[in-house]
A and B are shown apart, each in its own frame.
Chain A
Amino acid sequence: MEEVLLETKDIIKDFPGVRALDKVSFQVKSNQIHALCGENGAGKSTLIKVLSGVYPNGSYEGQIFIEGEEKKFENIHQAEENGIAVIHQELTLFEEMNVAENIFMGNEISHNGYIDWNEMYDQTNKWLKKMKLEGVKPTTKVGELGVGKQQLIEIAKALAKNSRLLILDEPTASLTDNEVELLMKILSDLKNEGVTCIYISHKLNEVFEIADYISVLRDGEYIGGDLKDNLNEREVVKMMVGRSIEQMFPDRKYKAGKEILKVDSLDLKNYEGEQILENISFELAEGEILGIFGLIGAGRTEIANTLFGYLPGSKKGDIYLDQEKVDIKSPKEALHKGIALISEDRKRFGIIPPMSVKENISISFLDKFKNLLVVDENKEIANVTELVEQLNVKTASLNTKIVNLSGGNQQKAILAKNLVETPRVLIMDEPTRGIDVGAKQEIYELMNKFAEDKMGIIMISSELPEILGMSDRILVMHEGKITKEFDNRNKDISQEDIMVYATGGKIDG
């Protein structure tokens, strides 16, 4: 009989306007690799933050038990003392410091306040060996290591704090195949040494390779879980998605008109001379939704930013708008030529937090409301009100600060901002990232409506169901190149077809 290491009971976590976790109860048994699956926005990250003390006790409802004893973590430190360590998707290492300093950060071996470097280097060597990092020295700067190796250093850092429960959040998102293999090997070694793992991923092939037990979250609820051997991929996908694709993605008649955008052999190098995009060519017709899929680092966002005049670096190749060659050097030019971009990072590139909903929406085309020198506020309010109603942005008033809106309504406001002047080409980079299902569906419906109004839409997404459900055509990217173009008018392309080209594995075969 295995004992239960971690148990949660009825965890509820609310954000303004969204319930991120709804009565989540589950158990993690000792000495298992427990996979936690779910789509983006299912509540996986929120759950981890509750478990690891990022959201302190009191900011959520429900109970957490470790080996049967209730725990109330006030901060990350208390969770760590109880043996819980999280490896986040974004690594938290100090690139300018060496491996030993990083592994023992906040946990230095010292006598009377003096750091015992010899002891620390000695122990670091042991960890490096365990992580199979031959060739890395304790004095190597972490910044000089690749992402895969950094990840292993991060794991060593967690284990150096005597962690019993290791939570890995999408650990393979930016790893190469070889690195993934190494990680799998190390995780199963650790399991044999008594470390328990929660492994979060939406890559089902990995999950089925490594996990002992699989749990599924959807829309903040715990849907269910079972031993891996009792499940197959199809069943897990069904649990994750929960609804058939037809329900989620509204129907639309494909009715593409004339070509509006053409990209011809676009090459892009960054300032360091690295090739970011290579020989990118595609067209977009009015009334068409073009999906672009690729893994992290495939160059999807770079295409969007290049079209929008926002990417630094040296560019080759031609871009045509309505058959006319254009050279777009700034976002301002792009907007005036009718190209709009909704960025993947809403916090960083989308909202202006101290400003109101109204001011956020009108900022891109403020000149439109200008009367001599003055912004005609009445005209502005009238225009913005219309858009807010049309897009169903839920806000207390136009003067509410945009940060007080839920993610979905912020996203709709950002969409409204790009519609003050109707664009010809709308580029949407991860349009539904981090928003709830209801808002997702609204955005899909709006996209269809725009397409019917002859807008050309480029949708960049790392969510396969979304790409498959919405796109008329699909471009698949891998390492800066387009590896395949699919015709998806009949919505009959499968996830496997796309993944093959996205991983770059079998292009020849």
Chain B
Amino acid sequence: MADTKKIKFDLRTYMMIIALVSIWIIFSFTTGGDFLTARNISNLFRQSVFTSMLAIGMVMVIIMGHIDLSVGSLVGLTGGVVAILDVWQGMNPIMSIGITLLLGLILGLWNGWWTAYGNVPSFIVTLGGLLIFRGVLVGITGGTTIGPMSDLFYYFGKGYLSDTIGIIFAVLVGLAIIIIQLKSRRDKLKYDFEVLPLKFEILKIVVSVALLVTFILIFNAYRGIPIPLMVLTVFLAIFTFITNKTTFGRYIYAIGGNSDAAKLSGIDIKKITLTVFMLNGLMAAIGGIFLTSRLSAASVAAGNSAELDAIASCVIGGASLAGGIGKVGGAVVGAIVMASLDNGMSLMNVENFWQSIIKGLILILAVWVDIYTKNKKSAA
């Protein structure tokens, strides 16, 4: 059995990255190189942060075989609440962020409770949530736009890390990569499992660190690492860890794969479902705070149809709406693909309606390619 162990990579995420790089190459030609400037790359990543945040929460819901249509309204409502606390109440920013995050959890609990314990299909529960949360937002803000936000929010929305801090950050992440890789190798050897030859292992580390350094240099060539991007990276790491390494993560996949079998395997489906919806609510609240910070104001239309972008990102990133399949990293790559399309087409001065049409086509194409290759494989 050990001899069949090959270099392991997730083909679908891998294909997504190839697709992403191709899109970048195409755009750098069509825009005469404007696309690949440090400034644009920096902007591109910053633009993808909002959808990425939502996609991280959404992809767990989708893996579990559910859907959350209320995310856009959740963003609007939490973004509105944080603005009310900051601007109208003059509350300490840390305090108002804390309260808003708690609100996100509670609203997620609402969605999760109806779905898990009320047995109402999540499509219906969150469609209801979409209307309710937006309604509450209009009610509490009286339909007005609230701003401007205090300084701390500016940094969260638009700030950059100084070059030095960026480099320190890069060194820390680089060290973490090296330590994790080597520890994993040592643990495998403890069990006498097959490992890659040491030189490949070192090559892997060198490539990862080189990629990291390249990005840091690009960002520093403009204004430094965008703070929102760093916050996103932290959440990406946390949720990748949760879904890949913990029992909780494994249970999410099991429930989406076959909830009846999962139940008979002793998994507490209701509890897990509730928790995943709460985490999604939390990510939506972070998205809400971020959006309000970036615009320095909350409006009643904020986050409109953001859930659809999040769902599209998950699907482009390889998640299956049937459940059981998907990756947090894939969803973020999906969000970056969407942001790249927006960004590149804007640079080319493509009209807005075309952007919408092309994004829609890409979404369908991504799923079709996946289904087509899968069918071919099973027919062979």
Residue on B nearest A367 in the bound complex, by CB: B247
B262 on interface, CB distance cutoff 8 Å: yes
Residue on A nearest B320 in the bound complex, by CB: A354
Question: Do the beta carbons of B1 and A363 come within 8 Å of each other?
Answer: no
Question: Do the beta carbons of A355 and B254 come within 8 Å of each other?
Answer: yes
Question: Do the beta carbons of A351 and B268 come within 8 Å of each other?
Answer: no
> Using Cβ atoms and an 8 Å threshold, which residues of chain B touch A330?
266, 268
Question: Do the beta carbons of A308 and B264 come within 8 Å of each other?
Answer: yes
Give bound CA distance, A13 to B355, whole Å. Answer: 50
> Using Cβ atoms and an 8 Å threshold, which residues of chain A touch B250?
359, 363, 366, 375
B204 on interface, CB distance cutoff 8 Å: no
Given that A331-B263, A343-B264 are contacting pairs, would A355 and B191 also be in contact in the complex, using a CB cutoff of 8 Å? no
Instruction: Tell which of A374, A381, A388 touches B245, judged by Cβ atoms closer than 8 Å.
Output: A374
Q: Mark A373-397, 1 if CB is under 8 A from B, else 0.
A: 1110011011001001000000011
Question: Do the beta carbons of B254 and A385 come within 8 Å of each other?
Answer: no
Question: Do the beta carbons of A331 and B265 come within 8 Å of each other?
Answer: yes
> Using Cβ atoms and an 8 Å threshold, which residues of chain B touch A352?
253-254, 257-258, 261-262, 324
> Using Cβ atoms and an 8 Å threshold, which residues of chain A touch B254?
352, 355, 359, 363
Task: Name the interface residues of A301-351: CB closer than 8 Å to any CB of B.
Answer: 308, 310, 330-332, 334-336, 341, 343, 348-351
Given that A331-B265, A378-B187 are contacting pairs, would A351 and B1 also be in contact in the complex, using a CB cutoff of 8 Å? no
Question: Do the beta carbons of A373 and B266 come within 8 Å of each other?
Answer: no
Give bound CA distance, A354 to B323, whole Å. Answer: 9
Give bound CA distance, A414 to B3, whole Å. Answer: 24
Min CB gap A452→B, angstroms: 27
Q: Interface majority SS on B: helix, strand, loop or mixed?
A: helix
Instruction: Tell which of A353, A374, A398 touches B258, judged by Cβ atoms closer than 8 Å.
Output: A353
B190 on interface, CB distance cutoff 8 Å: yes
Residue on B nearest A354 in the bound complex, by CB: B324
Residue on B nearest A372 in the bound complex, by CB: B246
Question: Do the beta carbons of B268 and A332 come within 8 Å of each other?
Answer: yes
List residues of A whose CB falls within 8 A of some B CB: 308, 310, 330-332, 334-336, 341, 343, 348-355, 359, 363-367, 370, 373-375, 378-379, 381-382, 385, 388, 396-399, 417
> Using Cβ atoms and an 8 Å threshold, which residues of chain B touch A310?
263-264
Q: Mark B170-207, 1 if CB is under 8 A from A, else 0.
A: 00000000000000000110110100000000000000
A330-B268, A359-B254 given; 20 more Cβ-contact pairs under 8 Å = A308-B264, A331-B263, A332-B266, A334-B266, A335-B266, A336-B266, A341-B264, A343-B264, A349-B261, A350-B264, A354-B253, A354-B320, A364-B265, A365-B266, A366-B251, A373-B245, A374-B245, A378-B190, A381-B191, A397-B4
Give bound CA distance, A373 to B245, whole Å. Answer: 8
> Using Cβ atoms and an 8 Å threshold, which residues of chain A touch B191?
378-379, 381-382
Give bound CA distance, A336 to B23, whole Å. Answer: 52
> Using Cβ atoms and an 8 Å threshold, which residues of chain A touch B376?
none
Min CB gap B373→A, angstroms: 15
Q: Mark B265-290, 1 if CB is under 8 A from A, else 0.
A: 11110000000000000000000000
